Amino acid sequence: MLVSILRQGDFLIASIHTALDDTEMERFRQDVVTRIGQFRSRGVIIDVAALDVIDSFGSRCLADLAHMARFRGAQTVIVGIQPDVAFAIVQLGMDLDVHTTLDLEEGLALLERLTAGSRTGHSAIGVLGDDR
């Protein structure tokens, strides 16, 4: 399993479980944006805690995902950025212009403050794996 996308109430929790190549990152971005509309999500958590490195393309995809989500009416919070990843993002000169928190719980609390959404309610899960 490369990524998972879980619906938690009015929010999506999209977790990246391993490093993604460019094609997988683009598919992840598209799947999240599609599910925002499908579930009428008010917020998205992108959990990158499993990543110990990120390149400029990955950083740009995350920033693009946040902007696309905003156009679809959803706030984005990236959680779990490791110190080395934060350092790389700064060294690459990338400005993600996205809310960040240390962990999932803080991210959900921030989304509840930023939106009128709630983490309680219907849940569903989707998974992208190696079978693509």
First to last CA, the chain: 11
| Exposed / middle / buried, residue 97 (Cβ in 10 Å: 0-12, 13-18, 19+) | exposed
**Cα–Cα separations (whole angstroms), residue 62 to 118, 119, 122:** 23, 22, 26
Give pLDDT tens digits along the chain (132 positions). 899 999 999 999 999 999 999 999 999 999 999 999 999 999 999 999 999 988 889 989 999 999 999 999 999 999 999 999 999 888 888 877 899 999 999 999 999 999 976 676 555 555 555 443
- Residue 108's nearest CA partner among 72, 71, 78 is 78
pLDDT recorded at residue 131: 41
CATH class of 3-114: alpha beta
pLDDT recorded at residue 96: 79
Q: What is the pLDDT of residues 79-105, one digit of tens each?
A: 999 999 999 888 888 877 899 999 999
Q: Parallel, antiparallel, or unpaired: how do β-strands 123-128 and 99-101 relate?
A: unpaired
Q: Parallel, antiparallel, or unpaired: how do β-strands 11-16 and 123-128 relate?
A: unpaired
pLDDT recorded at residue 128: 52
